Chains A and B, each alone.
Chain A
Amino acid sequence: MAKTGFLTDTTVCIGCKACEVACKQWNQLPADGYEMTGDSYDNTQTLSGSTWRHVAFIEKSGRKRLTGDVDLVALAEGVREELPEGAEIDGLGRWTFMSDVCKHCARAPCQQACPTGAIIRNEFDNVYIQPDVCNGCGYCVPACPYGVITSVPEDGRAFKCTLCYDRQKDGLEPACAKACPTDSIVFGEVEELERRAEERVRELHERGYTEAYVYGTEEVGGTGGIGGNHSKFILMDRPETYNLPAAPELPQEKVGPAVAASAVAAAVLSAAVALAFRR
């Protein structure tokens, strides 16, 4: 089976939250309450056990104001050509939207942490929690460097994006990708998505947006032994702006050295006790 994943292109996201809604509907996830946060239009705030797609709203205020007669159509087309009155397109300020989701790591920390084997890689190479096996120990939660997987107290178990395993089995694309009106979320084979991401970043660079880059590679986002992510993103700002870590590590790389250090400590402490008890 081919490896599948997402490519989320933040440059064409319009912040409509159709992905959040489609995900909740398809996966029958409960509502999160009706609280106003004051954090722009983001009242969801974060991925959680009951929210597997989350749209972030980042308001970047512009340094310069547009003056005079401005061709708004030209502006909206997003080309960095010379504008009337020497204005810059960034002078408008920018809304940045980003639909966050489970990264489906090539080497997944949550999967390695899971003591029951509930978290597996399925035939699509997606990271999937078997709900009938999970016993709710919660160890996958602090293991995830992206804050994705979350315990749900009312249920006891941990939950996250399944990459719509059930829909994929029937040859359908995941609900969020299906609902996305701008194709900001694209579902497909990982290698195809990688090509598509590179092409899009090249195109953005050519148009003057040199800050565009792919997050979820072994260089950015999928670092430190994680081996890249099957869910990749095209970002226009530092990862931290989107609440993403720049260079996370696979926490399990520390297990071997930590066990060795503890074995040394065990030998020394045992020797100390032996010293105290020698006759």
Chain B
Amino acid sequence: MRENGRHARGSESSHHPGDSYYNIPPIKRPHWTWEIFVYFWVGGIGAGAHAVTTIARLLGHGDAALLRAGRYITLGSMVLSPLLLISDLGRPERFYNMLRILKLRSPMSLGSWSLFLFGSLSGLIATAQAAQDGLLGGGNPAARLARAVPAQILSALAMPFALFVGSYGGILLAATAVPMWARNALLMGPTFLASSFSTGLSALSLALKLGRWGEKGTHAALRRAERLALVAELGLMAASLAKMGKYGKPLYGKPLAPLFFGGTVLGGILAPLALLSGRESRPRGILASVLVLLGGLAFRYVMVEGGKRSADDPQATFSHTRKEG
């Protein structure tokens, strides 16, 4: 019953007696499998899509196609998210224990509650939308009840929980003993949130472009917002790398560097920025959205995987706890 097989030896091969204990990692990496980074991505898309459509609506932007796309994308994300999280639990049948207590100092607890509330509200909102779209039939009581749901008010109420779902992945990782995550504690949440906005905007834009839905003004606004979100994301990532310093080594080194710099920075931010800044066309917009979405997935993967590698490096942990640069 030894967990994780044998321990993973640290990556530092040169070590002197007294500097570490046979290069055995002094902290343990989390067991989290693929479900976790995929959840951070899927949940982020739903949070971003909800935030964007709600803000647009509050500003009086009346495009029904945008609202419809936003509500259904959010619903899809909020159906998938808990399934991914529950399947990653060591005891999935006890998932409801997440809601037996609220702990303000535990990002995992805050996140579970936010996901529960945001998910429930987005279910109600999407039901109202489905009733409006005639998907629930015409005169039956269920459809009438669904149409009575105050979707606008609920959307506004869901905003804080949506924004927390978009950012807490970063906060959750930051509040650990893992050097790469802990060193960048303040910027982790904002960077995850920026990526959540960019991927949410891209999902909306992609859906509207593929379905040839939405007004011209909506497409232009989404394009402007995508550019702004990508610039914010780029700035936060550069600041994060600076803040991590040598503790960001898993991101610069093999095997994650190609995916991080090629997939996230170049493919997921710089290339779509170029595509969105040049001549406007449907294929270019679609390509940009797909690139942003894939880049966001790569970002979640390298952040989770990079932290695991950071935890396996004894010198990183020791140097971090001695408060060295």
Chain B binds chain A: yes
User: How many residue pairs between the two chains, A and B, have CB atoms under 8 Å in the bound complex?
Assistant: 279
Question: Number of contact residues on A: which range applies?
Answer: 35 or more
The answer, yes or no, to whether B25 is at the interface (CB within 8 Å) is yes
The contact of B18 among A118, A238, A244, by CB within 8 Å, is A238
A273 and B189 within 8 A (CB): no
Contacting chain A: which of B3-11, B73-81, B143-151? B3-11
B28 and A150 within 8 A (CB): yes
Quick one: CB contact mask for B235-268 with A, threshold 8 Å, 1 for yes?
0100000000000000000000000000000000
A266 and B30 within 8 A (CB): no
Complex Cα distance A187/B28, Å?
Answer: 26
B98 and A135 within 8 A (CB): yes
Complex Cα distance A263/B186, Å?
Answer: 11
The answer, yes or no, to whether B52 is at the interface (CB within 8 Å) is yes
The answer, yes or no, to whether B41 is at the interface (CB within 8 Å) is no
Given A135-B94, A240-B20, A277-B221, A156-B89 contact (CB < 8 Å) = yes
Complex Cα distance A266/B187, Å?
Answer: 12
B321 and A269 within 8 A (CB): no
The contact of A144 among B1, B27, B89, B105, by CB within 8 Å, is B27
A42-75 with Cβ < 8 A to chain B: 42, 45-46, 48-50, 56, 58, 60-61
The answer, yes or no, to whether B212 is at the interface (CB within 8 Å) is no
Given A245-B321, A262-B167, A134-B91 contact (CB < 8 Å) = yes
A147 and B18 within 8 A (CB): no
Contacts of B221 in A (CB 8 A): 276-277
The answer, yes or no, to whether B278 is at the interface (CB within 8 Å) is no
Given A48-B3, A115-B108, A258-B174, A149-B28 contact (CB < 8 Å) = yes
A273 and B197 within 8 A (CB): yes
Contacts of A144 in B (CB 8 A): 27-28, 177
Contacts of A133 in B (CB 8 A): 94, 97, 100
B171 and A262 within 8 A (CB): yes
Contacts of B190 in A (CB 8 A): 261-262, 264-265
Complex Cα distance A65/B322, Å?
Answer: 34
Given A237-B18, A246-B318, A269-B194, A258-B185 contact (CB < 8 Å) = yes
Contacts of B177 in A (CB 8 A): 109, 142-145, 245, 248-249, 251
Contacts of B109 in A (CB 8 A): 115
Contacts of B4 in A (CB 8 A): 153
B225 and A273 within 8 A (CB): yes
A259-279 with Cβ < 8 A to chain B: 259, 261-266, 268-270, 272-279
A146 and B27 within 8 A (CB): yes
A249 and B321 within 8 A (CB): yes
Interface hub of A39, A152, A259, A275 (most chain B Cβ within 10 A): A259
The contact of A277 among B59, B89, B98, B176, by CB within 8 Å, is B59
Contacts of A154 in B (CB 8 A): 1
A152 and B3 within 8 A (CB): yes
Given A115-B103, A117-B101, A39-B3 contact (CB < 8 Å) = no
Contacts of A134 in B (CB 8 A): 90-91, 94, 97
Contacts of B90 in A (CB 8 A): 134-138, 151-153, 155-158
A194-214 with Cβ < 8 A to chain B: none
Given A157-B91, A252-B106, A277-B225, A142-B307 contact (CB < 8 Å) = yes
Contacts of B170 in A (CB 8 A): 258, 262
Quick one: CB contact mask for B293-322 with A, threshold 8 Å, 1 for yes?
000000000000001000100100110011
Distance in Å: Cβ of A53 to nearest Cβ of chain B: 15
Give 30 A-B contacts (CB < 8 Å), ordered by A residue: A61-B17, A112-B105, A112-B106, A113-B106, A115-B106, A116-B94, A116-B98, A135-B89, A135-B90, A135-B97, A142-B178, A144-B27, A145-B321, A146-B26, A151-B30, A153-B3, A153-B90, A154-B1, A246-B321, A248-B177, A249-B177, A254-B182, A258-B188, A265-B190, A269-B229, A272-B197, A273-B201, A276-B225, A277-B221, A279-B217
In the complex, besides A46-B7, A48-B3, 20 extra interface pairs with C-beta distance below 8 angstroms are A45-B22, A46-B24, A113-B108, A115-B108, A117-B97, A136-B89, A142-B28, A142-B181, A151-B90, A157-B91, A243-B24, A245-B177, A245-B318, A245-B321, A249-B321, A261-B190, A265-B232, A269-B229, A273-B229, A277-B225
Interface residues of B (CB under 8 A from A): 1-4, 6-7, 17-22, 24-32, 51-52, 55-56, 59-61, 88-92, 94-95, 97-98, 100-101, 103-109, 112, 163-164, 166-168, 170-172, 174-178, 181-182, 185-190, 193-194, 197, 201, 217, 221-222, 224-225, 228-229, 232, 236, 307, 311, 314, 317-318, 321-323
- Please provide the 6 A-B residue pairs with the shortest distance between their CB atoms, ordered closest to farther: A136-B90, A156-B90, A262-B189, A265-B190, A243-B21, A276-B225
Interface residues of A (CB under 8 A from B): 29-30, 32-33, 35, 37, 39-40, 42, 45-46, 48-50, 56, 58, 60-61, 109, 112-118, 133-139, 141-147, 149-158, 237-238, 240-249, 251-252, 254-255, 257-259, 261-266, 268-270, 272-279
